[in-house]
């Protein structure tokens, strides 16, 4: 009996000691959180050109993963248009009970069912890049596309003020996707009184954008085209290049594909709005970690966008952004 | 042993003091050692990292210097110079471009080589590639810097090179102005673009820890390379550039600690780049948790040993004391148990030994006292028997009857009154102690009766100092002596006997002698009798009946007054016997 009393006393003393030790070195562990299951990230597409948008997102994810010392799995359909594939991936991942799902929804409406399912399984969801029609995601990490659209619109407004042709057309990618809706909203807000002749959708097909642009060029009053994503920008730029109409029609595009940058140097594209995919990946994981460690997270995290023109495209501070280098 | 520690005991005090002292000692030692170990590991890790960083710097230096040599080779190439000087040559030369292409192909790290003349001529190390018409070469930083440096090599920071159509590559440029070896005039600039991947690779190969990384800044603090450049640009991360430049200027092999990271900086003299290695605190001791665990286990073990050990020490001291206490407690119940030999320290053993001696003495005293009491009672009983000896009474009454029949009325009266006095005195209110006067009166009566009974067979004389009258004596002290003198001394003697009772008073000691002139005893008999006096009658059955009376008197005196008092006997055959009683001179006050 008595021995027990002393062993208990000793253990208590040791515990106190251990706590004191831990306390003095506590700061070493504050940055590390322990997850029972990995964080699952579902991207829109996993295959594409080297150092395309999603590759850079992955770099940001990798950096955050290293910083926070957590386990992160990345998955997704091969191509962005495989919406049903993304839904089935999402549903399979819910079965695996991850700590958290980061989802870059390829469809605003169709993915909302899966998000509800995740919520019912007590798996928090963070929306990345494209929002989803659901109240359940704890946070949206991505470009504020209204602001990005406004940047494109303001630039167009500035450029077109010197032009005699005042008609402006919008070439968007997909009708029901938030990026398209928000960017268009931003563009229209910025352009204000300028004449917008309409919005055309290319369905993320470069050739369709190209033919839309060819049709638009028949309008003699066309002074500017705002293309709302990479594919649309490339299609439109190709049509302008072929028709040698770069002095007649001003193109303001989105994203930073290599060919877009060449068009920018050549003056075919006047400006492009660039997102920050690296920061997107990094901040998505960071927000996930913060949420899982019980901190309050912002419901909307803008990763920012930058308007790139021929003049500032080789500025040191934008170079990593526009020309991501692979390892 | 189901006893917990009770506060306020010696044991708990020793235990608490020991525990507190030992635990705090262990704690402090652990803390000191832990600090010591971690500091040592930290310092050696940092030194180690610095060595690695220096290696990286020298790698980059040698790498850049090789490229510089290459640029010099190209700048001094006579064919190239001739081509640039000769104004009639075409705008481009396939042969020379092929030569540059070979230089480029010899190394994996060169992205491109360009020789560009101020007259618009150029040689490109990629014969199939086209110069980007949108790039203004003469206004490029690398071109202007080379012109400014007058033939010395210039190394750029990292940037995206766009001299070739449809190609944007990350490079570090090394450029140098070409001077004609004939005329000495400027011919143009040679540019060697180094793939930035190579530098990236070198920096990433420097692995200082799981979370460690390295980056390069120039002397102005601009980033040449940083693995997370985008986070820096978006202010999601920052590096303490100012402090690092200060640290670099101090040049004292120090390190800078900032937000859990140890920064080391080494400058390449050749490029003037500073390479910074940032090691995360948690990488310094990679198995930090193990260190912590080991220390905890050691601490736990120490406590597990020390706890019970302390307990043993404290109980080792107090256990014998408690044992002593338990044994001593039995005294309350009147049991005088000895402790005997116990397992304890010298002091406790000594204490136990002394206690044993004391208890032994007490036990002896109690035994003696009990025995004495018993003896006293027995003696008193015998004395009582003596005083109301039925034989004596019967004989005396017989004598009275006989004397009455003889008509000796006077004698009857005398004897009867003596007998009456005798009893009155001997009863004496039950007190064992009487005044000598009374004792003498008693003896007087007794002798009177005996004298009459034995019909003048003896005479007697009582000569007691009247001074002694008020002193005390034990009742029936003298009667047995006289009885003895009559029955054993005078009765068997044919002569007329004489009994003389005398007294002496000296030094507060009263001696009363009863002397007879009877048959006396031999020395052997006397010696035998003396031995008999000292012994208990039970233990000395051979002792004659004559002795019992004397022995009883002797022992009673000794019991009441002490062993220095008692009877002494002097005798010689034919000359009679003298028995002397010695008692202290005690008045009423001296008696308890």
Sign of the C-alpha dihedral computed for residues B535, B538, B540 and B545 taken in this order: positive
Q: Is it the case that residue B384 has pLDDT exceeding 70? A: no
- The alpha-carbon gap from A65 to the nearest alpha carbon of chain B, in Å, equals 10
Nearest Cβ partner for B230 among A14, A28, A278: A278
**H or E element at residue A304:** none
8 Å CB contact between B537 and B552? yes
What pLDDT is recorded for position A75?
92
The contacts of residue B413 (CB under 8 Å, 6+ apart) are none
Q: Cα-flanking dihedrals φ and ψ of residue B212, to 5°?
A: -80, 160
Highest mean pLDDT among B30-44, B188-202, B318-332: B188-202
In percent, the amount of chain B with pLDDT more than 70 equals: 92
Residue A227 tokens read as: 């293309």
**H or E element at residue B116:** strand B110-117
CA angle (B342, B347, B351) in 5-degree steps: 65
Using a CB-CB cut-off of 8 Å, the residues of chain A touching B236 are 279, 282-283
**H or E element at residue B161:** strand B154-161
Lowest mean pLDDT among A219-223, A230-234, B312-316: B312-316
Determine the Cα–Cα distance for residues A85 and A93; give it in Å rounded to an integer. Answer: 12
What number of helices (H) and strands (E) belong to chain B? 16, 17
**H or E element at residue B93:** none
Which pLDDT band holds residue A26 (cuts at 50, 70, 90)?
very low
Cβ distance A319 to B159 less than 8 Å, yes or no, reads: yes
- CB within 8 Å of chain B, chain A residues 274-313: 276, 278-279, 282-283, 304
Alpha helices per DSSP H over B167-215: 196-205
Fold of the domain spanning B77-195 = Beta-Lactamase (3.30.450)
**Orientation of helix A258-266 relative to helix A230-242, angle to 10°:** 40
Helix, strand, coil percentages for chain A (3-state, nearest 5): 45, 15, 35
Q: Is it the case that residue A287 has pLDDT exceeding 80? A: yes
Highest mean pLDDT among B7-16, B184-193, B429-438: B184-193
Residue range B90-149, pLDDT digits in tens: 766 778 888 889 888 888 888 889 988 877 788 888 878 888 888 888 888 889 888 888
8 Å CB contact between B119 and B147? no
8 Å CB contact between B145 and B176? no
Interface A-B: count of C-beta contacts within 8 A: 113
Q: Is it the case that residue B218 has pLDDT exceeding 70? A: yes
Residue range A82-137, pLDDT digits in tens: 889 999 999 999 998 899 999 998 888 888 999 999 999 999 999 998 888 888 99
Provide the mean pLDDT of chain B.
Answer: 82
The residues spanned by each domain of chain A are: 39-143+277-296, 145-274
* Chain A residue whose CA is closest to B4: A2
What pLDDT is recorded for position B249?
82
* Chain B residue whose CA is closest to A306: B234
- Whether the CB of B296 is below 8 Å from some CB of chain A: the reply is yes
What pLDDT is recorded for position A306?
92
| CATH match of A145-274 with 3.40.50.2300 | yes
Cβ distance B292 to A14 less than 8 Å, yes or no, reads: no
Alpha helices per DSSP H over A161-220: 178-191, 206-217
Using a CB-CB cut-off of 8 Å, the residues of chain B touching A278 are 230-231
Fold of the domain spanning A39-143+277-296 = Rossmann fold (3.40.50)
- The alpha-carbon gap from B6 to the nearest alpha carbon of chain A, in Å, equals 12
- CB within 8 Å of chain B, chain A residues 60-79: 60, 63, 66-67, 69
What pLDDT is recorded for position B6?
64
Residue B29 tokens read as: 């030692």
Using a CB-CB cut-off of 8 Å, the residues of chain B touching A21 are 30, 34, 292, 295-296
Domains A39-143+277-296 and A145-274 share a fold: yes
User: Which of B236, B238, B280, B311 to probe by mutation at the A interface, max A CB count within 10 Å?
Assistant: B236
DSSP class of residue B423? H
Q: Is it the case that residue B39 has pLDDT exceeding 80? A: yes
Give me the residues paired with residue B274 across strands: B217, B267
Residue A314 tokens read as: 């080789």
Q: Report helix, strand or coil for B578.
A: strand
- Whether the CB of A4 is below 8 Å from some CB of chain B: the reply is no
| CATH match of B388-584 with 3.40.50.261 | no
Determine the Cα–Cα distance for residues A245 and A230; give it in Å rounded to an integer. Answer: 20
Cβ distance B159 to A283 less than 8 Å, yes or no, reads: no
Determine the Cα–Cα distance for residues A102 and A137; give it in Å rounded to an integer. Answer: 9
Cβ distance A279 to B160 less than 8 Å, yes or no, reads: no
- CB within 8 Å of chain A, chain B residues 206-245: 210-211, 222, 227-231, 233-234, 236
Residue B508 tokens read as: 């507060």
Q: A12-19, long-range: CB within 8 Å, 24+ apart, which pairs?
A: A13/B23, A13/B303, A14/B296, A14/B299, A14/B300, A14/B303, A17/B27, A17/B30, A17/B296, A17/B299, A18/B296, A18/B299
Determine the Cα–Cα distance for residues B272 and B153; give it in Å rounded to an integer. Answer: 13
Residue range B343-378, pLDDT digits in tens: 777 888 888 888 888 888 988 898 888 888 887 777
Using a CB-CB cut-off of 8 Å, the residues of chain A touching B299 are 14, 17-18
8 Å CB contact between A155 and A188? no
Residue A20 tokens read as: 């004191």
Torsion of CA B553, B555, B558, B560, to 10 degrees: -70
Q: Which whole number is the average pLDDT over A282-289?
A: 93
Determine the Cα–Cα distance for residues A149 and B413; give it in Å rounded to an integer. Answer: 165
The contacts of residue B461 (CB under 8 Å, 6+ apart) are B498, B499, B500, B501
Lowest mean pLDDT among A37-51, A153-167, A251-265: A37-51
Which pLDDT band holds residue A1 (cuts at 50, 70, 90)?
very low
More confident residue, B193 or A53: B193
Lowest mean pLDDT among A5-9, A246-250, A313-317, B45-49: A5-9
User: Which of A5, A6, A303, A317 to probe by mutation at the B interface, max B CB count within 10 Å?
Assistant: A6
Q: Is it the case that residue A150 has pLDDT exceeding 90? A: yes
User: Which of B233, B297, B319 to probe by mutation at the A interface, max A CB count within 10 Å?
Assistant: B233
The contacts of residue B49 (CB under 8 Å, 6+ apart) are B208, B212, B262, B264, B277, B279
Cβ distance B197 to A25 less than 8 Å, yes or no, reads: no
Domains B1-75+207-288 and B388-584 share a fold: no
- CB within 8 Å of chain A, chain B residues 425-464: none
- Whether the CB of B281 is below 8 Å from some CB of chain A: the reply is yes
What number of helices (H) and strands (E) belong to chain A? 11, 12
Residue B426 tokens read as: 């001997």
Residue range B74-86, pLDDT digits in tens: 988 888 888 888 8
- CB within 8 Å of chain A, chain B residues 28-87: 30, 34
Comparing CA positions, the residue from B339, B347, B287 lying closest to residue B316 is B347
The contacts of residue B231 (CB under 8 Å, 6+ apart) are A63, A278, A279, A282, B237
Determine the Cα–Cα distance for residues B296 and B292; give it in Å rounded to an integer. Answer: 6
Kindly give the pairing relationship between strand B122-124 and strand B110-117.
Answer: antiparallel
- The alpha-carbon gap from A201 to the nearest alpha carbon of chain B, in Å, equals 28
- CB within 8 Å of chain B, chain A residues 32-61: 32, 60
ipTM for this prediction: 0.77
Lowest mean pLDDT among B186-190, B237-241, B492-496: B492-496
8 Å CB contact between B552 and B529? no
The residues spanned by each domain of chain B are: 1-75+207-288, 77-195, 388-584
| CATH match of B1-75+207-288 with 3.50.40.10 | no
Cβ distance A279 to B234 less than 8 Å, yes or no, reads: yes
Comparing CA positions, the residue from B111, B98, B102, B127 lying closest to residue B174 is B111
What pLDDT is recorded for position B544?
58
Q: Is it the case that residue A43 has pLDDT exceeding 60? A: yes
């Amino acid at each position: 009996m008595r021995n027990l009393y002393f062993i208990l006393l000793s253990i208590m003393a040791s515990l106190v000691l251990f706590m004191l030790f831990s306390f003095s070195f506590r700061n070493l562990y504050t940055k590390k959180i322990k997850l029972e299951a990995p964080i699952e990230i579902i991207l829109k597409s996993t295959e594409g050109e080297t150092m395309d948008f999603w590759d850079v997102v992955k770099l940001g994810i990798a950096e955050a993963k290293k910083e926070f010392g957590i386990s992160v799995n990345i998955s997704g359909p091969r191509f962005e248009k495989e919406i049903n594939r993304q839904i089935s991936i999402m549903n399979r991942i819910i079965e695996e009970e991850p700590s958290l799902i980061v989802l870059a929804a390829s469809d605003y409406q169709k993915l909302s069912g899966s998000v509800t399912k995740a919520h019912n399984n007590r798996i928090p969801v963070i929306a990345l890049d494209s929002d989803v029609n659901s109240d359940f995601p704890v946070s949206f990490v991505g470009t504020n596309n209204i602001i990005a659209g406004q940047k494109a619109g303001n630039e167009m407004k500035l450029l077109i003020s010197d032009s005699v042709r005042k008609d402006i057309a919008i070439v968007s990618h997909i009708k029901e996707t938030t990026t398209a809706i928000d960017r268009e909203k931003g563009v229209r807000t910025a352009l204000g009184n300028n004449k917008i002749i309409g919005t055309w959708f290319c369905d993320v097909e470069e050739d369709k954008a190209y033919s839309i642009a060819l049709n638009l060029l028949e309008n003699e009053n066309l002074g500017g085209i705002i293309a709302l994503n990479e594919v649309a920008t490339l299609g439109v730029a190709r049509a302008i290049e072929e028709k040698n109409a770069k002095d007649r029609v001003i193109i303001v595009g989105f994203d930073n594909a290599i060919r877009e940058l060449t068009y920018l140097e050549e003056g075919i594209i006047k400006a492009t709005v660039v997102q920050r995919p690296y920061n997107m990946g990094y901040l998505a994981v960071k927000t996930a970690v913060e949420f899982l460690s019980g901190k309050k997270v912002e419901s909307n995290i803008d990763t920012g966008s930058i308007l790139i023109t021929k003049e500032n495209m080789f500025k040191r501070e934008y170079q990593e952004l526009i020309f991501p280098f692979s390892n | 042993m189901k006893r917990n520690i009770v506060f306020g005991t010696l044991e708990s005090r020793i235990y608490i003091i020991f525990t507190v002292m030992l635990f705090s000692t262990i704690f402090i030692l652990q803390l000191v050692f832990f600090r010591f170990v971690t500091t040592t590991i930290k310092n050696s890790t940092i030194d180690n990292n610095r060595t690695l960083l220096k290696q990286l710097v020298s790698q980059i230096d040698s790498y850049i210097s090789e490229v510089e040599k290459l640029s010099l080779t190209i700048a001094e190439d006579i064919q190239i110079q001739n081509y640039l000087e000769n104004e009639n040559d075409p705008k481009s030369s396939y042969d020379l471009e092929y030569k540059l292409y070979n230089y480029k192909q010899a190394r994996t790290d060169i992205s491109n080589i360009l020789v560009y003349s101020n007259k618009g001529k150029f040689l490109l190390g990629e014969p199939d590639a086209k110069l980007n018409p949108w790039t203004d070469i003469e206004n490029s930083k690398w071109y202007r810097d080379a012109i400014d440096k007058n033939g010395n090599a210039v190394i750029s920071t990292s940037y995206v090179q766009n001299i070739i159509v449809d190609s944007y590559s990350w490079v570090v440029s090394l450029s140098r102005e070409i001077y004609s070896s004939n005329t000495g005039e400027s011919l143009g600039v040679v540019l060697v673009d180094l793939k930035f991947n190579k530098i990236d690779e070198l920096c990433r190969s420097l692995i200082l820890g799981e979370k460690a990384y390295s980056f390069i800044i120039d002397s102005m603090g601009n980033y040449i390379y940083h693995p997370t450049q985008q986070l820096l640009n978006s202010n999601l991360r920052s590096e303490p550039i100012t402090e690092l430049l200060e640290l670099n200027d101090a040049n004292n092999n120090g390190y800078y600690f900032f937000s859990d990271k140890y920064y080391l900086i080494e400058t390449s003299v050749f490029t003037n780049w500073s390479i910074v290695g940032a090691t995360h605190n948690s990488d310094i001791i990679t198995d930090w948790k193990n260190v912590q665990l080991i220390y905890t286990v050691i601490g736990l073990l120490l406590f597990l040993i020390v706890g019970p050990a302390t307990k043993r020490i404290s109980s080792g001291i107090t256990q014998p004391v408690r044992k002593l206490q338990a044994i001593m407690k039995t005294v309350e119940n009147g049991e005088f148990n000895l402790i005997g030999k116990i397992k304890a320290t010298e002091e406790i053993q000594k204490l136990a030994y002394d206690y044993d001696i004391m208890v032994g003495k007490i036990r002896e005293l109690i035994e003696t006292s009990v025995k004495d009491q018993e003896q006293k009672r027995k003696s008193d009983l015998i004395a009582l028997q003596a005083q109301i000896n039925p034989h004596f009474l019967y004989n005396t009454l017989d004598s009275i009857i006989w004397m009455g029949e003889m008509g000796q009325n006077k004698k009857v009266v005398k004897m009867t009154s003596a007998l009456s006095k005798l009893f009155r005195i001997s009863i004496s209110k039950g007190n064992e102690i009487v005044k000598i006067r009374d004792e003498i009166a008693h003896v007087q009566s007794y002798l009177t009766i005996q004298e009459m009974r034995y019909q003048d067979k003896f005479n007697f004389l009582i000569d007691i100092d009247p001074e002694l009258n008020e002193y005390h004596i034990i009742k029936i002290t003298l009667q047995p002596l006289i009885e003895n003198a009559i029955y054993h001394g005078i009765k068997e003697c044919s002569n007329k006997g004489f009994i003389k009772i005398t007294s002496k008073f000296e030094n507060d000691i009263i001696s009363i002698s009863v002397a007879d002139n009877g048959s006396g005893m031999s020395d052997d008999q006397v010696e035998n009798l003396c031995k008999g006096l000292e012994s208990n009658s039970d233990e000395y059955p051979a002792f004659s009946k004559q002795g019992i009376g004397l022995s009883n008197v002797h022992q009673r005196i000794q019991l009441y007054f002490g062993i220095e008092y008692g009877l002494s006997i002097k005798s010689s055959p034919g000359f009679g016997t003298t028995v002397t009683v010695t008692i202290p001179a005690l008045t009423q006050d001296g008696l308890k």
